[in-house]
Amino acid sequence: MEVNSELFRSAWSKFPTGVTVITSNDHENNVHGMTANAVLSVSNDPPMVIISVGIDRQSNSFITTNKRFGVNILSDDQTDWAEFYAMKPENRGDALPGEIRKSDNGIGILDGALTFMDCEVTEAYEVGDHTLFLGTVVYAEGQDGWPLLYHEGDYLSLNEDPD
Ligand SMILES: Cc1cc2nc3c(=O)[nH]c(=O)nc-3n(C[C@H](O)[C@H](O)[C@H](O)COP(=O)(O)O)c2cc1C
């Protein structure tokens, strides 16, 4: 069977993941976000991560310029953030689903995210239609909670006993 992009996407939709919002800064230094699940822990010492960002994403140009990004791991009550930052930027409107503050490095932290990691880009590799940004984690914070999951186009929770 020929592996066209539709089949490839469908194959990977069977693979459940967590959900993050990658934050960066736009050219006016405003927080910009992008929903992402192509995120990988690479090294513990030093702490390093890889994110895969489509070449046509606005985030790609902001991360390439500023050489910084944030990884916000979403909790199961943050589906609205995931949906918001999966939309094309021109369709998002001005009303954010919640509060955002900035880290000491000026990177956006979504209120209520389970984990935030502040990353400096160490290397960038162009692979097909994406760029792999390898980042060193220079700051992290977090809180307890249930993660948001993504599987076959649906947002899910592991919590079988919600409040
Ligand atoms: C669950 C989910 C995961 C996604 N993961 C990625 C990803 O890892 N990399 C990517 O480039 N786009 C990913 N996307 C698509 C982007 O979120 C979407 O194209 C967004 O509009 C890009 O925003 P930007 O152009 O402002 O950067 C994902 C979308 C969803 C719904």
39-73 pLDDT, tens digit per residue, is 999 999 999 999 999 999 999 999 999 999 999 99
Instruction: For 95-130, write each residue's pLDDT tens digit.
Output: 999 999 999 999 999 999 999 999 999 999 999 999
| Domain span holding position 127 | 17-157
Query: Do the domain assignments include residue 46?
Result: yes
**Atom 7, ligand 1: residue with shortest CA distance:** 36
What is the sign of the dihedral through the CA atoms of 14, 19, 24 and 30? positive
**Residue 100's CATH number:** 2.30.110.10
pLDDT of residue 94: 87
User: Does residue 132 sit within a domain?
Assistant: yes
In a domain, 9, yes or no: no
Number of domains in the chain: 1
User: Between the CA of residue 77 and those of 83, 98, 108, what are the distances in Å?
Assistant: 12, 11, 18
The reply to whether 49 falls in a domain is: yes
User: Which pTM was predicted?
Assistant: 0.97
Residue that has been written with the tokens 């949906």 in this structure: 83
Tell me if 125 is assigned to some domain.
yes
With a cut of 80, say whether residue 163 has pLDDT above it: no
Ligand 1 atom nearest the C-alpha of 51 is 8
Whether 73 maps to a domain, the answer reads: yes
Q: Report yes or no on 6 lying in a domain.
A: no
Distance 86 CA to ligand 1 centre (A): 5
Question: What is the rounded average pLDDT of the residues 133-152?
Answer: 98
163 within domain boundaries: no
